[in-house]
Amino acid sequence: MLTPYLLDSTVVPSAGTSGVDALQWASPIFKLCATTHTSVIINQIPFMTPSEHLLLKAVEETTREVCRVTTKMWAVGVMSGLDTLFLIEPNGEHNVAQIMDDWKQDIQKLMSWLDWSIWIKCRPACGPEEMCYLPTWPVNDPRPRHPRLPLWDPRNTMDALEEVDYLADRVGHPSEGSAIADAFGFIGTPTEEWRKPQPKCIRRLSPYGF
């Protein structure tokens, strides 16, 4: 899950390292995991409505917590000599059963914190370089696009219906040529999949299609 965020500069300390330093080395990986998928729209914050800003904040906080928990679990595994990519000589015998029990508790706490009412997964399971994706509005919305409108100016007079139409058009589709539109444009979601969306495996990083 964290493979796309591993850095060539990652240096794992010796197995005897303890305290905060034992996991501090994984911080850059956590930060990359937590910001990769929202960094492309950060510069749009000044143009966002309060609702859009709230949605961005919710996505950022959710991604941060998911990445925090999974990075911690992975780093503990590395320091215990359980990772095949970062091989270190463990400092004594580790209780693998206890580590797995701790991981289970971490996942249960994360799921409780997320409090999602529905959980889905791809069948068959996605590969190491893939993630499970569910077609989500507005990305690849099959409806035809409308001409882009100029940024809303509060000095302009606009009745309620016009304002609703403006906001709907603004958030309905990623703009042509934007990083989001270009990245997700490879997925190619047919209209039928919007009626009955089904999870499918895509690449973890742009370009997302195969």
User: Nearest to residue 14, comparing CAs of 91, 73, 84?
Assistant: 91
Q: Between residues 124 and 209, which one has the greater pLDDT?
A: 124
**pLDDT-based confidence at residue 186 (cuts at 50, 70, 90):** very low
Q: Domain extents for the chain?
A: 3-119, 125-210
Above pLDDT 70, what percent of the chain? 67
Burial of 71 (0-12, 13-18, 19+ CB in 10 A): buried
pLDDT tens per residue, range 135-181: 776 555 555 555 544 544 544 444 444 544 554 455 444 454 444 44
Please tell me which residue, 21 or 88, carries the higher pLDDT value. 88
pTM value surpassing 0.85 = no
CA distance 90 to 83: 11
Task: Judge if the upstream peptide bond of residue 138 is cis by omega within 30 degrees of 0.
Answer: yes
What confidence score (pLDDT) does residue 58 get?
Answer: 94
Residue with the larger pLDDT of the pair 171 and 35: 35
